[in-house]
A and B are shown apart, each in its own frame.
Chain A
């Protein structure tokens, strides 16, 4: 479904991502692990089109998407929940959610409203706060909003960066319940996470990244692979 071939990304002169090959099959959750600053976030940003890869190919169901604009990539069904949530502070909760409509071009107003109703049914908290601005929400609510905003558009591929960062354990459990639901609905997910134990529970496969390159790959269910992962990222 998603194929990365020898992806390199630079920020100015810094060579951040150094030749990553990665495949995610349809419906899979693939964990991307590694220490801070090894290029995980940059890798997701490269797929989402925030930065252009300096070399390599990114294909989504066979179509090349590297070089497309972020909105073009989004309209092909790629949702992105970045690490700091990036809620728009000047927009109400509902306006934040309604932006998600644009992910699916050509949907009717009635379909959009139905999508919004589904989201409100799933996240009653956001329904209660729909008129408030994004910044008045708690960290957990903001993470919910960031996830819900992408779910309005029902993406085929979801890129999630550090969803549990800075959140209380109960809220982390909520977030992972949502990720499990998305997986059950057939969405392919690329999950970057420091909280490896939590993430491995939903991952089919994983890769470990060090200094911008994949140094290990394995399956989430395999005990030897897990041990190898823990040794690699030294946790």
Chain B
């Protein structure tokens, strides 16, 4: 019985917690990997867009808008911001010689600006929004807080919807075509500039959505994107830069590794394990687990 008890009261709750975090990490990593797969841009401001999403939700929540509405409003609000950042900033340096370096520095700088603006507007201290659903349920003998259950289901639905759009629709075919060969895609009529900006905006909106979803679990503070984005980058590298399946598999896997490892060692030491996996991956299979968006 000891084994069963251990599974039910120790391992399973930890895995559920890991799963909730995993789903949120996948949402952030999805945006990051789509932007990289399509534009070849490493978006260093992605974590700050995640924080921006949480703060926009906090601000709108404080004027009385219900949480459920924010889940739709915040990503919608981030779409035009992402679109303008791509068209107004990234496109300007995109065709220069050193694309990787210039876009990396540009988005890094943008992230610093967003972080400071958030500090000025909301102060450096953490805010703790109320959990929109309290209580919990027992699933197969395991106690699961309702909000975490909601987070897992909502995240899974969003991830499935993103995959369906990318792999099952005409729009998704345009995105995959532009990711593989932008010249040929353009010569078939794909409006590549709009696809780029749209995909960037979409990735930013996904980060914002993750911010809204995670705000009730973690606190909201201006540098909240930093820790989280490291994990998301690790997920993208392990899963394969520009791979949607890779982001999902690696996101869920690495968060489970973290969750389970923290049962046996100090949680402080779970980060080195996760980053160690990334380093090993970079050495033995630098392209990651799965192929890049649009590639066979």
Our count of residue pairs bridging A and B at CB distance below 8 angstroms stands at: 85
**Cβ A74 vs Cβ B188 within 8 A:** yes
A134 to B192 CA separation, bound complex (whole angstroms): 21
Q: A69-B193, A89-B296, A90-B296 are in contact. Are A99 and B177 (CB under 8 A)?
A: yes
Other than A50-B183, A134-B296, give 4 A-B pairs with Cβ distance below 8 A.
A48-B187, A69-B192, A88-B185, A89-B296
Nearest A-chain residue to B184, judged by Cβ = A86
**Cβ A103 vs Cβ B188 within 8 A:** yes
Which A residues touch B294, using CB under 8 A?
88-91
Which B residues touch A130, using CB under 8 A?
none
**Cβ A75 vs Cβ B296 within 8 A:** no
Asked whether B180 is an interface residue with its Cβ less than 8 Å from the other chain, the reply is: yes
A-B contact pairs, 16 of them (CB 8 A): A69-B193, A70-B192, A71-B187, A74-B186, A75-B189, A82-B187, A86-B184, A88-B176, A88-B180, A90-B293, A95-B176, A99-B177, A100-B188, A105-B189, A133-B296, A153-B189
A48, A79, A102: which has the most chain B beta carbons within 10 Å? A102
Asked whether B29 is an interface residue with its Cβ less than 8 Å from the other chain, the reply is: no
Q: A88-B184, A99-B173 are in contact. Are A71 and B191 (CB under 8 A)?
A: yes
Q: Which A residues fall within an 8 A CB radius of B?
A: 48-50, 69-71, 73-75, 79-80, 82, 86, 88-91, 95, 98-105, 133-135, 149-150, 153
A50 to B189 CA separation, bound complex (whole angstroms): 13
Q: Which of A70, A90, A98, A100 contacts B180 (CB 8 A)?
A: A90
Asked whether B212 is an interface residue with its Cβ less than 8 Å from the other chain, the reply is: no
Nearest A-chain residue to B195, judged by Cβ = A71
**Cβ B189 vs Cβ A74 within 8 A:** yes
A90 to B245 CA separation, bound complex (whole angstroms): 14
A48 to B192 CA separation, bound complex (whole angstroms): 14
**Cβ B296 vs Cβ A70 within 8 A:** no
Q: Which B residues fall within an 8 A CB radius of A?
A: 170, 173-174, 176-177, 179-181, 183-193, 293-296
Which B residues touch A82, using CB under 8 A?
184, 187
**Cβ B176 vs Cβ A102 within 8 A:** no
A91 to B175 CA separation, bound complex (whole angstroms): 11
Which B residues touch A134, using CB under 8 A?
296
Nearest A-chain residue to B176, judged by Cβ = A90
**Cβ A89 vs Cβ B187 within 8 A:** no
**Cβ A98 vs Cβ B173 within 8 A:** yes
Q: How far apart are A51's CB and chain B's nearest CB, in angstroms? A: 9
Nearest A-chain residue to B292, judged by Cβ = A90
A98 to B173 CA separation, bound complex (whole angstroms): 9
**Cβ B180 vs Cβ A102 within 8 A:** no
Which A residues touch B184, using CB under 8 A?
82, 86, 88
**Cβ B181 vs Cβ A86 within 8 A:** yes
Which B residues touch A101, using CB under 8 A?
170, 189
A150 to B188 CA separation, bound complex (whole angstroms): 7
**Cβ B187 vs Cβ A80 within 8 A:** yes
**Cβ A149 vs Cβ B188 within 8 A:** yes
A134 to B183 CA separation, bound complex (whole angstroms): 17
Which B residues touch A50, using CB under 8 A?
183, 187
Nearest A-chain residue to B294, judged by Cβ = A90
A88 to B180 CA separation, bound complex (whole angstroms): 7
A50 to B181 CA separation, bound complex (whole angstroms): 11
Which A residues touch B176, using CB under 8 A?
88, 90-91, 95
